[in-house]
Amino acid sequence: MISAEDLIALVRNYNPKTNADRIAAAYDYGRQMHEGQMRRSGEPYFTHPVAVAAILTEQRLDDATIITALLHDTIEDTKASYDEVANRFGDEVAMLVDGVTKLTNLQLSSRETKQAENFRKLFMAMSKDLRVILVKLADRLHNMRTIKAMKPEKQVQKARETMDIFAPLAGRMGMQWMREELEDLAFRVLNPEGRQSIIRRFIMLQRETGDVIHRITGDMRFELEKADIEAEVFGRAKKPYSIWRKMQEKNQGFSRLSDIYGFRIITRTEEDCYRALGIIHQRWRAVPGRFKDYISQPKSNGYRSIHTTVSGRDGKRVEVQIRTRQMHDVAETGVAAHWSYRDGVRTENPFAVDPAKWIASLTEQLTAEDDHEDFLEAVKLEMYSDQVFCFTPKGDVVKLPRGATPIDYAYAIHTRIGHACVGAKVDGIRVPLWTRLKNGQSVEIITAEGQMPQVSWLEIATTGKARTAIRRALRELDRGRFIKLGQELARSAFDHVGRKATDKALETAARHLRLKDRDELLARLGSAELTARDVVQAVYPELIRDEGDQVSPRRAVVGLEPGQSFERAPCCQPLPGERIVGITYRGKGVVVHTIDCNRLSEFEDQPQRWVDLHWHTGTHPAVYGVTLDMTIGNDAGVLGRICTLIGEKKANISNLVFVDRKPDFFRLLVDVDLRDVEQLHSLMLMLEAESDVASVERYREKPPIRTAAS
């Protein structure tokens, strides 16, 4: 626990004129009042108020706020009274401690109707003195840092409350650092597996690329010094929750995210901000559409900064923020900038906008809004920047994630409305269904009897509810067609292992896979939700695993070091019989490419990573997947004949995806499991000879468009 002397020293760092005796007296009084009380972790309870006070010293807050932190639980949890605190430390401190106590007693995680009234009380308390919420946020931050001592169900409750209320509130008040830490601490409780997966990916990325932050920071400092611009440069990886949220919003995997690193340039003057921007854009290529000037057009909470995204080393995108020191203070501390001290004097920051004006606008609404729900909706529209709140024609509010479309809105109202949707009006104007909705818009869904979901809606919808409902409806619409296709796929797969796809075998497979019946199994097989291999393995697992005297896939490649693993590159899908080469990766073993793979050009300047390999001689099992890009006629029975032909060549279809559907032709990608390149050539020759096959070729991933840093 921090001693009174150490706490006073922290305050003196930014306020040499602090009243040390008053802080020491509050420290002693708080420790005396909490004597004998313990936290769930087993520590003395007073360690918590002291830690809260230390957090507030980081924001350079005044003596009254620091003393309030030390005493914030005394009126609630000890024999201390309001009058006694007022007599000892003054009315200002007593009022602040009482305000924090009232906030603590609010059950902010209760049901929505009660939550509206709690929000009303919260903002009423804030309107009297904003330092009340500063202490409460620091209190919540320390509780989240030490949350492991709580019972699991209590951890989840507090984490949800933090994610829903306190983190957005901190962000809305301009305290972005606190918002990020609160979100990440809550994320650790609510989704520990997701957070760990992000951290593991980061570690793997650092092993492969080295210390990107150090290199780019050094490059930026060099360019700024060369231009005689005095500035500080800082770099950091974004928080796990920030990356997770971006993955959800963009529906992308970690490997496809680009701007996971952020850099800040702190200059002396506003003029230097724009000079630094020019230097950055000269040295690195700017990403179109990712530039924002919040200096010339500040945010409502006073935030000022220039944001740009550039392509850095190896074409990696990085976000750069450029601001002055005063702008940075506001960006970091937000509302606390109004109460912060420097050298014993209240800081006069010309860029700080008093958030009390925002509170005042809400309290004005309190007198006008009799309905608690209306007030709650207004508060949420102000606070939650990562959500969108739209209005129905009747004035009801529909909550959606940012980036949602009218399709998501329709399904949020009711599945029946979503299915029958044919159009939408936003603020009275007809808009396309792919329009991204914004906060406060009024949305009207146009429906028509007999309308059913379209396949294209899956690309438009962003919410899980909408996408699930659309898939379910499409599956029902196409159920008959999928069952027929599933029959052909199952027959081909069972023939491949010398068995028959009898009704009994399919019923057995359905039971093993926990599906309702044979038709459900075939429908899922035909819609590519199941693979034919899964179905066969459910009935005859020994036939899938036992490949006789064939070459083991583990020993299929010759030239690896003992214990070294390999995997086939998805871009070229090499097969036994083709010339191959390996590229080494840290923690990943060797990735095998065909010798003519376009992606090998990316490694021309890294010869130390190349490994000379060749396939083991002998018969290989048919376990090597290759994708065929086919265009076939849209006639009855064509797809079934194609599946039959593939089965006759002893090739197993593991997946099938329709890429494009036209009235006369289908284009589809077919994944087949093959032994070697000879079987592939034989199969493709046979398919090319089929009159209903317009084209067939081996599918190859196109190499990415590379953006080189100058």
Which residues does the annotation mark as catalytic?
A: 76-77
CB within 8 Å of 357: residues ≥ 6 apart: none
Q: How far apart are CA 449 and CA 172, in angstroms?
A: 44
Q: How far apart are CA 436 and CA 526, in angstroms?
A: 33
Task: Please report, as a single letter, which amino acid is at residue 635.
Answer: D
Q: Indicate the pairing of strand 285-286 with strand 261-267.
A: unpaired
Task: Give the Å distances, CA to CA, from 353 to 268, 383, 678.
Answer: 21, 17, 72
- Give the tokens for residue 159: 């984490």
Q: How far apart are CA 87 and CA 78, in angstroms?
A: 17
Helix axis angle for 406-413 and 464-477, nearest 10°, is: 80
Q: How far apart are CA 149 and CA 147, in angstroms?
A: 5
Please count the residues of the chain: 710
Q: Name the strand (E) or helix (H) holding 631.
A: strand 624-633
Q: Could you write out the DSSP letters of every residue in 568-600? A: E-TTT---TTS-EEEEEETTTEEEEEETT-GGG
Residue 337: alpha-carbon gap to chain centroid: 30
* φ/ψ of residue 612, rounded to 5: -80, 120
Q: How far apart are CA 658 and CA 456, in angstroms?
A: 12
CB under 8 Å, gap of 24 or more: what pairs does 505-514 form?
Answer: 505/539, 506/535, 508/538, 508/539, 509/535, 509/536, 509/538, 509/539, 512/538, 512/539, 513/538
Return the SS3 of 136: helix
Q: Could you write out the DSSP letters of every residue in 635-701? A: STTHHHHHHHHHHHTT-EEEEEEEEEE-SSEEEEEEEEEES-HHHHHHHHHHHHTSTTEEEEEE--P
Return the SS3 of 110: coil
CB within 8 Å of 57: residues ≥ 6 apart: 7, 10, 11, 13, 14, 66
